[in-house]
Amino acid sequence: MKKSFIVLLLLIASQSFSQKLKIVEKPILWDSTRIALSVEYLKQRHGIEQTQPTIQPKMVVVHWTAIPTFEKSFFAFNSSTLPNARKELQNASQLNVSAHYLIDRDGTVYHLMPDTLLARHVIGLNYCAIGIENVGDGGKNPLTEKQFRANYLLIKQLHKKYKIKYLIGHHEYTKFKGSKIWKETDPNYQTVKSDPGDEFMNKLREKFKKLRKEI
């Protein structure tokens, strides 16, 4: 077998392998407190009464943690209740913020909780949104190319698994206010977000032209 042909086979194999996404299971604490607070959040914030905090994913929301390391980011999500430092959110609920996935700066994807359970990560849309957090920020720790690629492969997988219709950045969530999909009982409850920015999301949406960013 000619050497050039072997090289070609190896190249094809490596390209095929590179399309596979490795997901590491690393669940955050899911105890009776988190369950009760999640059920309460659905009722009080979204007006949805259920005995279990389950969701039907229709949307993927991409974030950055604004925390420089994976370890500190994971720690921030792991507790069932909000830390005292998040006073701006405590009046709405004591449920801690979280996400379904956390992507480290090297592109490793960690699965923090089942896709069909409620995570508190985006006002008005938690009941139908899968959250993807990326370790980093818009300053000293900008999101990496490896993170971009991991987001692409993960969203591609989620799009196939669920009836995902929308793909947005956290900074774009208010575009849904006033629509049928928006469910927030307090019209004044809103925060200003900048993550992960237009550049990252526009680049990502180029890969998913059928997914919408607004109603």
Q: What is the pLDDT of residues 131-148, one digit of tens each?
A: 999 999 999 999 999 999
Is the residue at 126 inside a domain?
yes
Given a contact cutoff of 8 angstroms between Cβ atoms, the answer to whether 63 and 136 are in contact is no
Q: What was the pLDDT predicted at 197? A: 97
Percent of the chain with pLDDT over 70: 89
Is the residue at 201 inside a domain?
yes
Is the residue at 2 inside a domain?
no
Burial class (CB in 10 A: 0-12, 13-18, 19+), 182: middle
Q: Provide the CATH number for the domain around residue 120.
A: 3.40.80.10
Is the residue at 39 inside a domain?
yes
**Distance, CA of 15 to CA of 197 (rounded, Å):** 29
Assess whether pLDDT exceeds 70 at residue 7. no
**Distance, CA of 184 to CA of 22 (rounded, Å):** 35
More confident residue, 12 or 51: 51
List the 101-103 sheet strands across, edge first.
23-25, 109-111, 101-103, 129-134, 59-64, 166-169
Assess whether pLDDT exceeds 90 at residue 19. no
Q: Which of 181, 153, 175, 142 is nearest to 59 (CA)?
A: 181
Domain that holds residue 119: 21-205
**Mean pLDDT of the region 159-177:** 97
Is the residue at 26 inside a domain?
yes
pTM of the complete model: 0.90
Is the residue at 63 inside a domain?
yes
Is the residue at 69 inside a domain?
yes
